[in-house]
Amino acid sequence: AQSVTQPDIHITVSEGASLELRCNYSYGATPYLFWYVQSPGQGLQLLLKYFSGDTLVQGIKGFEAEFKRSQSSFNLRKPSVHWSDAAEYFCAVVAAGFQKLVFGTGTRLLVSP
């Protein structure tokens, strides 16, 4: 069955520093992968998605992610973190005939001054 692993429960980054959040997936075929962000007290918002083609995907808010098939990974990156980026980040893979998303357990990002 399809699954997603986010090995880091929480990460603290200094404001202005670079960020990388890890995501590993388990999927038999070419995966459709997503990153969502959940700000405190809010619903989830799509940051970016990968279907095919260029393995480096650009998203909103200055985020990007790189799909690496050999490592079964889809890590999220940002070159310079802002305090407003503090949130919970979820990686997800599509499953069940493209009818549902399976989410990872999330990584909480804390941004220090």
CB of 33 to other proteins, least distance (A): 10
* Residues 92, 100 contacting (CB under 8 angstroms): no
Strand 33-38 vs strand 44-50: parallel, antiparallel, or unpaired?
A: antiparallel
Which stretches of 1-113 are assigned E, i.e. beta strand?
3-5, 10-14, 19-21, 24-26, 33-38, 44-50, 56-58, 64-68, 73-78, 87-95, 100-103, 107-112
Among 68, 69, 82, 100, binds other proteins (CB under 8 A): 100
CB of 61 to other proteins, least distance (A): 15
Q: Map the footprint of other proteins across residues 4-63, applying CB under 8 A.
A: 32, 41-46, 49, 51
Among 96, 91, 90, residue whose Cα is nearest residue 2: 96
CB of 16 to other proteins, least distance (A): 26
Nearer to other proteins, 3 or 80 (CB): 3
Could you list the residues that contact other proteins (CB under 8 A)? 32, 41-46, 49, 51, 88, 90, 94, 96, 98-101, 103, 105-106, 108
